[in-house]
């Protein structure tokens, strides 16, 4: 398969979890805000989280401002792992923690290598 097709499919795969998570935070805003508060994270940041997940995810899919957004999502993934999945004695939380670390790794690769030819960034260059 062509490397540019793989880049596009990879971007969609990485970003889709964030697009769906951002949308679910909108539809379940109060529940999400309560969960964040229960974990010691102020719900005041929830609109920023939604913007990063939904907006950043869509931007990654499109390949728009790919490198800075990939870096932001990598940092967000690590922060979410530590803040929300830090109880690694619980097997499910350990899996969620490692999933976030894996996502961060994918975003770092994307930041290092760029989005490929099938992207807004490539069209702008």
Q: How do residues 61-111 score in pLDDT, each as one tens digit?
A: 999 999 999 999 999 999 999 999 999 899 999 999 999 999 999 999 999
Residue 1 predicted with pLDDT over 90:
no
Structure tokens at 76: 């967000």
**Phi then psi dihedrals of residue 17, to 5 deg:** -65, -35
What is the model's pLDDT at position 125? 86
Residue 47 predicted with pLDDT over 90:
yes
pLDDT band of residue 114 (cuts 50, 70, 90) is very high
What is the model's pLDDT at position 25? 98
d(C-alpha 86, C-alpha 113), whole Å: 30
Instruction: Determine contact, residues 11/111, Cβ cutoff 8 Å.
Output: no
Mean pLDDT, the chain, whole residue set: 97
- Cβ count near 59 (within 10 Å): 23
């Amino acid at each position: 398969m062509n490397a540019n097709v793989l880049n596009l499919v990879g971007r969609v795969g990485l970003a889709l979890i964030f697009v769906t998570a951002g949308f679910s935070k909108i539809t379940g805003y109060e529940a999400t805000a309560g969960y964040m508060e229960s974990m010691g994270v102020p719900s005041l940041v929830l609109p920023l989280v939604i913007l990063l997940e939904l907006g950043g995810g869509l931007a990654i899919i499109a390949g728009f401002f790919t490198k800075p957004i990939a870096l932001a999502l990598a940092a967000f993934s690590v922060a979410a792992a530590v803040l929300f999945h830090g109880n690694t004695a619980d097997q499910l939380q350990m899996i969620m923690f490692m999933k976030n670390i894996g996502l961060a790794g994918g975003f770092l690769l994307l930041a290092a290598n760029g989005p490929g030819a099938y992207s807004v960034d490539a069209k702008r260059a």
